[in-house]
Amino acid sequence: MSETKRKAVGRPAGSGKSSGGHSQSLVRGLNILEGLAAAPVGLALSDIAQIVGLAPSTTHRLLQALHKQGFITQDAELGLWKIGVKTFQIGNTFLESRDFVATARPYLRRLTDESGESANLGIRDDGMAVFLAQSESPQMMRMITRLGSRAPMHASGVGKALLAWLPEKEVERILQARGLPKVTDNTIDTPARLRQGMAEIRRQGYACDREEHAVGLHCVAASIHDEQGSPLGAISVSGPVARIPESRLAELGGLVSRAAREITTQLGGRLPSAEEY
């Protein structure tokens, strides 16, 4: 074999500058999708360029590539870029792959029927609570959560219900990464208060958000567990303080914790005890 042929055979496929350039373009394209996902009304080219830290001309080339593949769309009249159908399809595949999401949907509808309020399902992702499904209240004034939206774990019912059943090392990691920023005047902002609240959640079986994430809103949540007893996700009921006063939290806590237990059982999960923590 000649020296030239040996070099050709020994060189990995796709190596060189073009591979690195493609990887960088992929990362930039994903950053654009993340930025657009956080802005449902759409973003202008200049805003997207600022988010990804690129020149408008470079950003526009990436947008055109994503648009050609169906991942994003552009409003012809306003010129704003938005998430496209293909991105939705990929995200929906994630939801379908998580069995507990489909399992939880009828329980969310039941909670709405029983309480008259919106019922939600959320999971933990990167130290945040992320909402995946909702059954909307029929009331004119109701809590509406955008699917995919995020909330600080320490400042939301779903987030606190999940935190309460995580190992201490994981809780500490989340606190170090995210801190305890105040969202409202009622937000828990010290580790001592948070851990005291977590112990209470484990004792009573549900978490309460008393205007900690949004002024004027109360929320009650309980976690769903896998076969190891680890929290898979959490369901909640939320609504305005006028319809969910302090005196109603225990009633709703009973409804939510019962539904969470039933979902856990249906999934073959195990409810941990407070004594395990």
CATH number at residue 130: 3.30.450.40
| List of residues 6+ apart from 173 with CB closer than 8 A | 127
The alpha carbon torsion through 147, 88, 82, 155 (nearest 10 deg) reads 20
Please spell the DSSP secondary structure of 181-202, one letter per residue. Answer: --SSTTS--SHHHHHHHHHHHH
| pLDDT attached to residue 37 | 83
| Selection from 48-52, 77-81, 230-234 with the highest mean pLDDT | 230-234
* Residue 269 pLDDT > 50: yes
Q: What is the pairing mode between strands 217-225 and 231-240?
A: antiparallel
Q: What is the percentage of the chain residues whose pLDDT exceeds 90?
A: 60
Q: Which amino acid is at 138?
A: P
The whole-angstrom separation of Cα 53 and Cα 21 is 16
Q: Which amino acid is at 53?
A: G
Give the mean pLDDT of 119-128: 93
* Residue 3 pLDDT > 50: no
- Does 219 or 4 have the greater pLDDT score? 219
Say whether both 47 and 110 belong to one domain: no
| Overall number of domains in the chain | 2
**pTM of the entire structure?**
0.68
Say whether both 81 and 105 belong to one domain: no
| pLDDT attached to residue 184 | 96
Say whether both 52 and 108 belong to one domain: no
| pLDDT attached to residue 121 | 96
Say whether both 160 and 217 belong to one domain: yes
Give backbone dihedrals phi and psi of 7, rounded to 5 degrees, phi first: -65, -40
Say whether both 183 and 255 belong to one domain: yes
Query: What domain range includes position 81?
Result: 3-89
Give the mean pLDDT of 47-70: 90
| pLDDT attached to residue 11 | 35
The whole-angstrom separation of Cα 228 and Cα 267 is 12
Say whether both 104 and 132 belong to one domain: yes
Last residue of a domain, one of 89, 106, 133: 89
- Asked whether the beta carbons of 194 and 259 are under 8 A apart, the reply is no
Last residue of a domain, one of 70, 89, 108: 89
Say whether both 161 and 245 belong to one domain: yes
- Asked whether the beta carbons of 216 and 176 are under 8 A apart, the reply is no
User: Rg for the chain (alpha carbons), in Å?
Assistant: 23
Last residue of a domain, one of 89, 121, 148: 89
Please give the mean pLDDT across all residues of the chain.
86
Say whether both 176 and 79 belong to one domain: no
Structure tokens at 48: 């997207």
| pLDDT attached to residue 98 | 55
Say whether both 39 and 170 belong to one domain: no
The whole-angstrom separation of Cα 130 and Cα 123 is 5
Instruction: Encode burial over 164-187: b for 16+ CB neighbours within 10 A, e otherwise.
Output: bbbeeeebeebbeeeebeebeeeb
Say whether both 117 and 76 belong to one domain: no
Confidence of residue 13 (pLDDT cuts 50, 70, 90): very low
Confidence of residue 175 (pLDDT cuts 50, 70, 90): very high
The whole-angstrom separation of Cα 49 and Cα 59 is 6
Give the mean pLDDT of 27-33: 88
* Residue 246 pLDDT > 80: yes
- State pLDDT tens for residues 87-100: 777 766 665 555 78
Question: Residue with structure tokens 């567990």?
Answer: 225
| pLDDT attached to residue 2 | 39
Please spell the DSSP secondary structure of 45-101, one letter per residue. Answer: HHHHHHHHT--HHHHHHHHHHHHHTTSEEE-TTT--EEE-HHHHHHHHHHHHH-HHH
Say whether both 79 and 105 belong to one domain: no
Instruction: Give the domain CATH number at 68.
Output: 1.10.10.10
Say whether both 80 and 116 belong to one domain: no
Confidence of residue 140 (pLDDT cuts 50, 70, 90): confident
